[in-house]
Structure 1
Amino acid sequence: QEYVDVMKTRLAAGKLPDLFLFWPGESNLKPFADAGKLLTVDDFSAYSGSEFKRDMVDESMYASSCLVDGVAVAIPLEQYKGFWLANTELFDKYGLDIPVTYEELKAVSKVFVENDIVPINMGSKGGNPGHFMFNALSYQLEGGIDDDLSMAVTHKFDTPANRKAAEYLDEMRQLGMFPDDTIANGDWGPAVNLYNQEKAAMLYCFPWKIGDVKEDIAAKSEFFTIPALSDAAIDVAELSMSGQSMAMLINKDSFNDPAKKVELVKFANYLLSDEFFEILAKTGNMPTKSVKISGDGLNALFVRTLEFTAQQSNSQPPMWGLFPDPSVHTVYIDGLDQLFSGIITPDEFINQVQTAFDKM
């Protein structure tokens, strides 16, 4: 959030960097695009000095996260798929099986809570990483995916799936499935800490945190799919929360400045090169461009993640980047923090976000 605030301040002051990395998603990109500060992907791709062409990245990646008013204004560099890990030693210690259903999740969580083990290393601060948990629930339910993916057009957040997901999440909190302090354990910094310390039995993880999972903990971890809700309308084994988590933005004013253009394009070409994408992969990130990656230096957990997530055919982006206006997005992430911590009820959460939509 600090980085977001800095970039917004620099935008207001007219001091944006020549090139910068930022989170994709229309609500994230829109302030920069509306100010007329972003070079379009087509304009960069068409420039004679550019070694990058738009079709080097699958078009679906632009469509899901890099468009503002239908125009591609960012180039996605890193993609992701979420995955679940279970500490098999903890499960074996208490004679438990990794849960397949929500009812089984409640049963194993009860045992872990009784033995001072946090069932799931999950919190929410600035909406992270809790928003993934919310959509992992809502997308299982009837109409959840279609309703949320069309939210930017319908302006409808108050849906049966979202209401039910909020209720499930609140029940999970009440059953002690999350840490007592979901704010302190929220955001990405502490996202794997309790799991690394074997104080949490399960972890909902994402590629950018793979390098933080200790090797000995990774070795005793088993991949599994999110337990299926009793009223799930899809095959959860195929569901994956996925999308693009890092994009490159080029300052249009800098690109049009003859004194900067040559070096700016040179640097952009490097960030979009096969060499740089291989570096991304070796740091545990999933590159958006298809490149040949040697096995040397790859994190073992990263390799296992690629193998496991390749089986998940129903890849869906979280609603995080789908809000049509930053004001609604802010209400959403603040509301998630409050819902996770029990400050507001599921009904209040849904109503707050819907009201923000209605005020647009």
Structure 2
Amino acid sequence: MLSPVGDNPGMTLSTPPAGAPRTLGVEEEVILLEPETLSPVDVADEVIAELTHLDTSMSFITHEYLRAQVEFSSPVLTDADAADRVVREFRRAMGQAAERRGLIAASVGTPPGPGRSGTAAGERYVRFDTELGAMRPDHQIQGLHVHVAIRSRDEGVAVMRALRPWLAPLIALSANSPRMAGVDTGFASWRTIVGRRFTTASVPPIFADATDYDRRVRALVGMGTTFDTASLAWMMRLAERWPTVELRVFDAQLTADETVALALLARALVETAAAGELPHAEAASHAELVDASVWHAARHGLEDGLVDPATGSQAPAWVVVERMLGAARPALVAAGDAERVDAYVEHVRAVGNGAHRQREALADGAAALGRLLRATFTA
């Protein structure tokens, strides 16, 4: 979301050599909740102070915009096993720290219970808070961000251009924010809708090349919440410190398996896009259709149709998801990630995305949802 120093310093990805799997990095945002009400509890600084003294391979743990939030940034990752290990190490330590305080560490796109978290300390956050105005009470969101190495910024711009029509199916698959402040929003990903309110929001525009990207981004600095180039809130952007494209489209995920699988899928899609092998119809790239598709996916998740980027027309959600996975399969197989991503997709097909599971648990009361959040965080 909004790092205190712009891009997180805990990750240093390098340009991948030709033919090698692209390196990647994972950033997870977690919120601390009171078990009975599922309301945010502002003790993140205390938890972070404890976690930074742990002897683990965690790269960087810090606070985020909210006093109830903790953000984890992985070290540079080359394979699924490494990603799985560091994400689980963080979640295990974070879960234990929360339990010692009688709290739940939850990986959800929005806090499901009533109450709101305060703004974390720091001039950058205070400035952001002030700029939000009446939007401030709704800005209680957690995301999963995935960095994937690129070989040049021009390649990164081309990747972003190719991925634009595929953001909606990624939202539908990963939606995990149906509730906000104790109310069912009616959306599968309310975090997506909240994020559309920023100065730079939702789907990035089409850029001709890196020079065009840099020129147009510089013109945005100083406008609203875009304090600098690290404040861009698009669903994907080029990182400033590292040679990566950063996918910011995902809600925070219930389980480590989902976090890792989506990171691997993101890497495969970047590889496929860079090779020019992501199918798309010209109509599917039109700004108005891409933007409407994102809204529709955030509203309905996998429970309605999606725009098929290959045809530009609507199709059943799972047809579009399967087309996306089919396009990414060669890259998944080449990196050895196909089995893990397939297992994730079959799990979502069987039990639903996070939004569906949250609603299903809540049918038995807030305590049942709390048990789901606690169990899935460290599962």
TM-score (normalised: structure 2):
0.28
Q: TM-score, structure 1 length as denominator?
A: 0.29
Pick 1 or 2: higher relative contact order, CA cutoff 8 A, min separation 6.
1
Compare CA radii of gyration and give the structure with the larger one. Answer: 1
